[in-house]
Amino acid sequence: MPSGLAAVSAVPSLSHAESHRAMDRPWADKIAAGGRWLDRAARRLGPGWTRAEPLLYGLYAGVCVLWTACLFYGSMRQQTLFAMLWQDPARYQQVLSQGLRGEWSAPLDDVFIHFDFAQNVARGRPFEWSVGNGYTSGGTSLLYPFVLAVGYRLGWHGLSLMVWAAVLACVCVFGLMLAARRMFSGLPRWTSYVVPLCVLGVGGLDWSLFSGMEVALLLGLWALALVLWDDLTRPDVPARGSARRSVPLGLACAAIVATRPEGVVAVMAFSVTAAGILARRGGARQALFVLLGAVVPTLFVLAVQATANYLLTGQASAAGALAKLELYNPRLTRREVWDAWLFYMGYQVARLTTFHFAENPYWGWIVYCVAPLGFIFQTTRRYAVLLWITVVLWVAIIATNGQVRWQNERYLMPAVAWIMLAAAVGLAALFGLPVTRGPKRKVAMAVQRGLGLVAMIAFAHFQRPRFAQQVWFFGRASRNIYEQHVTLGRRLAHELRPTPRRVLLGDAGAIPYMSGLPALDFVGLGGYHTLPFAEASRVSVSASIELLEHVRPEDRPDVIAVYPSWWGDLPLWFGARRITQAYARGNVICGGWWKVVYLADWSPLDPSPLPFSVRSGELVVDDLDIADLLSERQHEFRLLNSPRQRAEMKMLPDPRNPQVDLWDAGRYLGPGEAFTFELTGFDASLPARLVLRSAPSEPARLDIFVEDQPSGKLILERHESWLESEIPFSVPRTDRPIRVRIENKWGFSVLYHLWAVQPGP
Q: Return d(Cα 13, Cα 184) in angstroms, integer.
A: 9
Please give the pLDDT value at position 47: 62
Question: Which of 649, 652, 655 has the alpha carbon at shortest distance from 614?
Answer: 655
Alpha-carbon span 125 to 166, nearest angstrom: 24
Mean pLDDT of 235-245: 80
Q: Taking the domains of the chain in order of start, what are their residue ranges?
A: 3-474, 486-605, 618-759
From the CB of residue 746, how many other CB atoms can be counted at a distance below 10 Å? 12
pLDDT single digits (tens) 461-508: 999 999 999 999 999 999 999 999 999 999 999 888 889 999 999 888
pLDDT at 10: 36
Element (H, E) at 598: strand 594-600
Residue 752 CA, chain-centre distance (Å), reads 34
Task: Enumerate residues 6+ apart whose C-beta is below 8 A from 62.
Answer: 174, 177
Q: Which helix (H) or strand (E) holds 223?
A: helix 215-233
Topology annotation, domain 618-759: Jelly Rolls (2.60.120)
Mean pLDDT over residues 624-636, rounded? 94
Name the strand (E) or helix (H) holding 716. strand 709-716
Task: Specify the 3-state DSSP secondary structure of 423.
Answer: helix
**DSSP letters spanning 35-98:** T-HHHHHHHHH-HHHHHHHHHHHHHHHHHHHHHHHHHHHHHHHHHHHHHHHHH-GGGHHHHHHH
Mean pLDDT confidence for 334-352:
93
As to burial, measured by CB atoms within 10 angstroms (0-12 exposed, 13-18 middle, 19+ buried), residue 207 is buried
Split at pLDDT 50, 70, 90, the class of 20 is very low
What is the C-alpha radius of gyration for the chain, rounded to an integer number of angstroms? Answer: 31
**Gap between the Cα atoms of 79 and 478, Å rounded:** 8
pLDDT tens by residue, 411-430? 999 999 999 999 999 999 88
Q: Cα separation of 617 and 700, whole Å?
A: 31
- How much is the pTM? 0.89
CA 711/CA 727 separation, integer angstroms: 8
pLDDT at 661 over 80: yes
Are 446 and 544 a contacting pair, CB within 8 Å?
Answer: no
Angle at 289 between CA 284 and CA 291, to 5 degrees: 90
- DSSP letter for 594, please: E
Neighbours of 155 (CB within 10 A): 9
pLDDT band at 441 (very low <50, low <70, confident <90, very high): confident
| Mean pLDDT confidence for 303-316 | 92
CA–CA gap between residue 634 and residue 677 (Å, rounded) = 9
- Residue range 581-602, pLDDT digits in tens: 999 999 999 989 999 999 999 9
**Continuous segment of H or E residues that includes residue 302:** helix 284-313
How many CB atoms neighbour CB 323 within 10 A? Answer: 22
pLDDT-above-70 percentage for the chain: 92
Per-residue pLDDT band for 366 (boundaries 50, 70, 90) equals very high
Q: What is the pLDDT of residue 50?
A: 67
DSSP H helical segments within 433-540, as ranges? 441-481, 487-494, 510-515, 533-539
How many Cα neighbours within 13 Å face the side chain of 522?
Answer: 25
- b or e along 112-144 (b: 16 or more beta carbons within 10 Å of the residue's beta carbon)? bbbbbbbbbbbeebbbbbbbebbbbbbbbbbbb
Q: Is the dihedral of CA 332, 338, 342, 344 positive or negative?
A: positive
Helix then strand then coil, in percent of the chain rounded to 5, is 55, 15, 30
Beta pairing, strands 519-521 & 503-505: parallel
Confidence grade of residue 48 (pLDDT, cut at 50, 70, 90): low
pLDDT for 90: 78
CA separation for the pair 328, 404 (Å, rounded): 15
- Contact 271/277 with Cβ under 8 angstroms? no
**How sure is the predictor about 731, in pLDDT bands with cuts at 50, 70 and 90?**
confident
Which tens digit of pLDDT belongs to each residue from 122-163?
A: 999 999 999 889 999 888 899 999 999 999 999 999 999 999
Of 681, 700, 678, 686, the closest CA to residue 754 belongs to 678
Q: What is the mean pLDDT of the chain?
A: 88
CA distance 484 to 505: 13
Contacts of 462 by beta carbon, 8 Å cutoff, 6+ apart: 357, 358, 359, 360, 363, 364
For residue 42, count other CB atoms closer than 10 A to its CB. Answer: 19
